[in-house]
Structures are given as C-alpha cells and as structure tokens.
C-alpha cells in the first residue's frame, strides 16, 4: 500500500511539472522572447529535478525504514526465539532437576525400606541365635548337673572303696607284722636307716634331672587300679627283697624300689607308720608320703 501511494505522488508531481511550462508558453505569444531568454526554462526545470530528487528520496526513505523495521522485526523475532529457547531449556532443566530429586527421594526411600528389612532379618536371626544359645546353655547346665551328681556318686563310691581297701590293707599289715620275724624287722630297719639322706634337698634328683625315666612302665589300666593318691598303703606290710644291697617292694603285681634317699626330717619309722602312695608326675614315678605331701621320692618299677 505504501508503494502505491508513492507512485501516485510521483505521478502527480510529474504532471504538475509538465503543466507549468505549458502555461508559460501560452502567456507569451512571441517565440523570439523565448529565444532571448534561453536559460530560463533550464532554471525553471531545476526545481522540478530537485522536486524529483526529493520525491525519490522521499520514496526511498519508506523503503529504508521498512527494511529497518524488517530488521528490527527479525531481530525481535530472533530474540524472542532465543528467549523462548532459553525458557524451554530452563524449563527442561528444572523438569530434569525435579525428576532427579524424585528419583533421589525414591532411592532414599528404597534404601530405608531395605535397611529396615535387613534390620528385621538381623533381629530375627539374633533372636533365633539367642534361643539356640539358651537351649545350649540349658543343656550344658543339665549335663553339668548330671556330671556333678555322677561325680558325687563316684566320690561316695570311691570313699567306700578306700575305706574297704584301708581296712584290707590294715588287716594285711597286721598279718604281715605278725608273720615277720624279729630278724627280718631288724634287717629292714638297718636298710632303711642306711637310705636316709643327710641333706635331702641337695641329694634329691627328679627324673628330669636324671635324664628321664628309663624303667618299666605300668599299663594305664593297671596303674589306675592300684596306684595314684586314692590307693594308699604302708611299706612295712609289703613283700621285700634285697638286690644289690637295695630294697625292692612288691605292690599291685609289680616290684618297685627307691632311687632317692628319704628325707632326714621324716620320722625314723615312717615306713611302718605313714601312709604312702605311688603316682606318676610329669616325667616319671614317685613315692609320696601323706604326712609330707610336698616331697617326692624318685622310684623305679621292675618286672621282677
């Protein structure tokens, strides 16, 4: 529409420019006067060119303005598109952030539920283990009680057997003492006194100090039946033989003899009056005196 208006104005200006000179020629009939003034039409035509130039400039100004408006519109549209793209990116970033937050919250919730489930399973397992441990403790207490009862019965039976054995030993000792002749008693007394130590602490040697026990070893079942601290006896009632000037005594089916001297602070007739027993300690066999429980006399077993 603007271009049509510009064309109409240009045509109007041209028509006015042509009509002007025609009127001037009609007012001057004499053609010679027109010749006398040759420069005037040119001067009169100059305003027309100026008018045309102004019209041309006026026609170009709307085009320049239109281009400027188009550029501004394009720039505005581009800016709007950029702003729209930025807003879309921001909206997408916010949506992504919200989605990440939801996923993170879901993961935390899942972890919490998993931890609660694991804790429940652990509590259940602990409770089951506690129940098993309690049953085991109850069983152990019952077994311990049974063992204590059995041990008490064994002690009672052992005490009864010891009393019976002591009585048997006493009866046997009495018979043996009656059967011994005065000469045998004197001979044993001399032998015992010759085996008495002057300083037992310095003269005594353990089997470890002697390099280890190298005599006969009594079988375990036989040993438990006749030897140990539960089986006491008195030496003077035992059969005795002298081999190489040393005494050997028979008890429990085996012969044994003293390797150590007996302590000088023991009573002179300890072999007649004190209860003794034979036991295995650490590295060999020893004779123990119940009246002097801290002393051990090294002995050795023999088959004959």
Q: What is the pLDDT of residues 157-188, one digit of tens each?
A: 655 565 555 555 555 544 444 455 565 666 77
Rg (Cα) of the chain, in Å, rounded?
A: 71
Question: Does the model's pTM come out above 0.75?
Answer: no
Domain map (residue ranges) of the chain: 1-138, 183-302
Question: Kind of pairing, strands 284-289 and 246-251?
Answer: unpaired
Does pLDDT of 155 surpass 60? yes
Which residues is 242 bridged to in the sheet? 247
pLDDT at position 64 is 73
pLDDT band per the 50, 70, 90 thresholds, residue 153: low
pLDDT band per the 50, 70, 90 thresholds, residue 131: confident
pLDDT at position 30 is 47
Cross-sheet strand order for the sheet of 292-302: 240-243, 246-251, 254-258, 292-302, 284-289, 276-281
3-state secondary structure string across 43-111: HHHHHHHHHHHHHHHHHHHHHHHHHHHHHHHHHHHHHHHHHHHHHHHHHHHHHHHHHHHHHHHHHHHHH
Does pLDDT of 223 surpass 90? yes
pLDDT at position 215 is 92
pLDDT at position 66 is 77
pLDDT at position 35 is 47
pLDDT at position 61 is 66
pLDDT at position 217 is 94
Does pLDDT of 200 surpass 60? yes
pLDDT band per the 50, 70, 90 thresholds, residue 121: confident
Beta-carbon count within 10 A of 259 CB: 19
Does pLDDT of 127 surpass 70? yes
Which residue did the predictor score with more confidence, 108 or 37? Answer: 108
The tens digit of pLDDT for each residue in 65-87 reads 777 777 887 777 777 777 777 88
The tens digit of pLDDT for each residue in 247-285 reads 899 999 899 999 999 999 999 889 989 999 999 998 899
The tens digit of pLDDT for each residue in 27-75 reads 444 444 444 455 544 444 455 666 566 666 666 666 777 777 778 877 7
């Amino acid at each position: 529409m603007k271009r049509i208006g510009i064309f109409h104005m240009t045509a109007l200006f041209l028509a006015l420019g042509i009509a002007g000179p025609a009127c001037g020629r009609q007012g001057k009939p004499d053609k010679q006067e027109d010749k006398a003034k040759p420069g005037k039409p040119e001067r009169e035509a100059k305003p027309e060119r100026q008018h045309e130039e102004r019209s041309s400039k006026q026609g170009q100004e709307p085009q320049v303005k239109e281009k400027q408006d188009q550029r501004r519109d394009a720039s505005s549209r581009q800016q709007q598109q950029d702003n729209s793209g930025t807003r879309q990116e921001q909206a997408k970033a916010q949506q992504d952030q919200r989605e990440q937050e939801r996923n993170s919250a879901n993961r935390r919730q899942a972890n919490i539920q998993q931890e609660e489930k694991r804790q429940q399973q652990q509590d259940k397992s602990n409770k089951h283990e506690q129940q098993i441990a309690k049953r085991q403790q109850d069983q152990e207490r019952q077994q311990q009680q049974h063992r204590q009862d059995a041990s008490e019965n064994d002690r009672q039976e052992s005490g009864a057997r010891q009393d019976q054995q002591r009585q048997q030993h006493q009866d046997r000792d009495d018979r043996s003492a009656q059967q011994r002749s005065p000469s045998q008693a004197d001979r044993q007394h001399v032998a015992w006194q010759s085996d008495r130590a002057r300083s037992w602490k310095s003269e005594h040697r353990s089997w470890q100090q002697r390099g280890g026990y190298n005599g006969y070893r009594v079988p375990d079942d036989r040993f438990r039946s006749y030897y140990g601290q539960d089986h006491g006896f008195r030496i003077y009632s035992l059969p005795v033989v002298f081999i190489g000037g040393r005494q050997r005594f028979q008890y429990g089916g085996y012969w044994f003899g003293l390797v150590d001297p007996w302590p000088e602070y023991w009573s002179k007739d300890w072999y007649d009056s004190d209860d003794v027993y034979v036991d295995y300690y650490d590295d060999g066999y020893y004779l123990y005196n119940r009246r002097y429980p801290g002393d051990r006399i090294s002995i050795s077993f023999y088959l004959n």
